[in-house]
Structure 1
């Protein structure tokens, strides 16, 4: 009975702990991740203030939106052409209705016959490009830059581990008109482990290469904000610092303030716009060049042994000819075979048909053409005629030409020359003291 009484509370406790773990996991996952908005197909102008009246609230609101469209197009044209807004053209409302994709309400006050609001106007990129005078509404952009937003408050630095106003401001920033090609992360999955404040302090280039390759980027931008509150819910002061590269090179910075905590999101949105201007100015000045250490090291050069060039041998042509030997005696044929076999350039002389008292046929393989073979046989005293690949040879007399004598044998260079033996000298007789010659051998 005691065991049963103890088992029931323990089972209930385990169920409560399991349910708490599930709820905690859901809350933890819900605190992460802000998907960046896709602004590739729109052009946006924000902060347009309108104050109009009308016969009723709906008419005043409609008139305010029409006014926002006109002001927004002029501001966008001036921004795209980098000219004063006074030089921007005025577009009819019918055309503006076709190229405006949406109107975002930032803040509005609606009265019975008055409308006061701060609006943002989004223009369709493809439709508005013709009227803006820019092909496709495209701007020259940088290489893909991995953006790492960092918030430092109360002595702790966070990036995308938890949702914060700085990450949200970057996620809501429309990058279509910026010359910087930002690669923004949502903070889900493995993002908090790979994109965090500690990563920006790592000097290892191998780690940086792996991270930027994973997110499809080519370089790194760090957007840091140091937020200080006077007291909870009270005025706040933020110091914004723009950094670039794996070594955290400072691009620039500025300071903004908010009167209370409710104005912090607006301050962060303004900070994003000003920091984007800092990055754009650095890009135009050439200060956002990719660090060469982020490139892969070059492959080692392996020196191969030099290849031995083969000496081209002169090409020789081996031709086959039919030689017809005409003579009334067998000796003519024998001498003709001897001449052919000893002639320079002939590889073989094969008898095909032998006729002792008529014409014999011989197949000859010769290095050269038939005219050279005929000239060589003529030099040895034969009478030669050619017709195509057939050569006819005969003797100019009743006897065949004689074979040339063999070349003389040359002495060997290694044998020493023969020397004649020297004659022996007779002994010399010298006189002695006694006057008799003394014999010396």
Structure 2
């Protein structure tokens, strides 16, 4: 085997250049994980009444006249579809706030289309009564997953399934959807792997970040039969931190061009499934995700348990130290809560800290290392999007360390021999 020193000068330069290129490539990959266009913002939810899939086929003297007549016809059909009372066509038109063109074909004397009609809720409720009102669920975080070509995709890049949900007008639904855009660090936090996690601490951190109470997972499995051919979709509705199955169905698009229309239909079917599950009590916030008033915060409970274990270890060390020994100085030990360790030695403490993203993880480590009295730090566990744990070697008691960290701008909660810090 040839060593670096045995290489020619030209060979050494080539090897160094290769290393620099690899390092630069790694940096580019890290940036690519959150860079680029990946976010699709959800449309503003309207509480108006939307009626979709109204089919019209009208002939007239011109295509424009046919379209105008077809739109008037669609308004009446939509009103009948929501069981509205018999009203003059002009009064129905006065309640319409918008016409949504789902599909249309305009000819010289004919207009064929599938339309949606949106009625102003305040005006329509005068005739629909309480039937026009919808009691909404608790906020539900939506995680749309796409299986295609052997990969699982959520927010890592823009995709048709996320777009279909982002464009869905959910104001009329009884489900209060929380639809992330997937921009920035959301694409690192919200991945398919999260749907398979069972840790309530992880889920609580994520749900709190988006102001949600529970989670809904609509899964789309897309199979392209051959290039330009039909696209077969198998759709599965799941719910909650335990990924509970609700229902599944299949749809087929005649070609990739028809895929957006198929996904729009799938979104409406999912919404119907979720609404039925909500009404029969299948969907309700998981009580294990809630920290009730008066209950101990799970993170503090973990600190308490960790403190108990460390206290047992301290007692075992103290018992062992009562025996004569020649090696007694300079050892790293756990100090009593508010009593500094012997001069010339340091105490080892456990510090938990919130890490919503990679940037905050590095910032906290840097701040702790720069705290006066801190000799060294070591990372015990990393949880981006949750709570990470480090060990801190400090010349002083845990109370003094807590005060020093407060001086660095941290909010500090103190346990027996461990701390929980946040900003």
Aligned residue pairs total: 270
Query: Is 2:125 the partner of 1:118?
Result: no
Contact 2:35 2:184 in 1 (8 A): no
> In the alignment, which residue of structure 2 is the partner of 1:55?
61
State the match for 2:91 in structure 1. Answer: 95
In the TM superposition, 1:225-244 aligns within 5 A as 225-244=220-239
Q: Is residue 151–residue 159 contact of structure 1 (8 Å, CA) maintained in 2?
A: yes
If asked which structure has higher relative contact order (CA below 8 Å, sep 6+), I would say 2
CA displacement at 1:168 relative to structure 2: 1.0
Deviation at 1:72, TM superposition (A): 1.1
2:409 maps to: none
- Work out which of the two has the higher radius of gyration on C-alpha atoms and give 1 or 2: 1
Counterpart Cα distance in 1 of 2:35 and 2:205? 27
Q: CA deviation at 1:93?
A: 2.5
Alignment of 1:24-423 (within 5 A): 29-30=36-37, 32-75=38-81, 77-78=82-83, 88-134=84-130, 137-296=132-291, 299=295
Q: What is the Cα deviation at residue 97 of structure 1?
A: 2.6
User: Contact 1:240 / 1:253 at 8 angstroms: preserved in 2?
Assistant: yes
**Structure 1, unpaired ranges of 5+:** 1-13, 79-87, 301-441
d(CA) in 1 for partners of 2:174, 2:208:
21
TM-score under structure 2 normalisation? 0.60
Match of 1:432 in 2: none
Tell me the distance in 2 between the aligned counterparts of 1:34 and 1:177.
21
Distance 2:280 2:89 in 1: 39
**Distance of aligned partners of 1:292 and 1:123 in 2 relative to their CA distance in 1, 3 Å threshold:** same
Aligned residues: CA RMSD: 2.5
Q: Which secondary structure does the structure 2 equivalent of 1:29 belong to?
A: coil
Q: CA deviation at 1:271?
A: 0.9
Separation in 2, partners of 1:107, 1:273: 16
Give 1:28 shift: 5.3
Report the CA distance shift for 1:59/1:121 in structure 2 as closer, same or farther (over 3 A): same
TM normalised by structure 1 equals 0.57
The 2-side partners of 1:131 and 1:28 are apart by 50
Structure 1 residue matching 2:94: 3-state secondary structure: helix
1:247 Cα deviation after fit: 0.7
Change (3 A) 1:138 1:194: farther
Q: How many angstroms apart in 2 are the aligned matches of 1:163 and 1:90?
A: 45
CA contact (8 A) 1:141 1:178 kept: yes
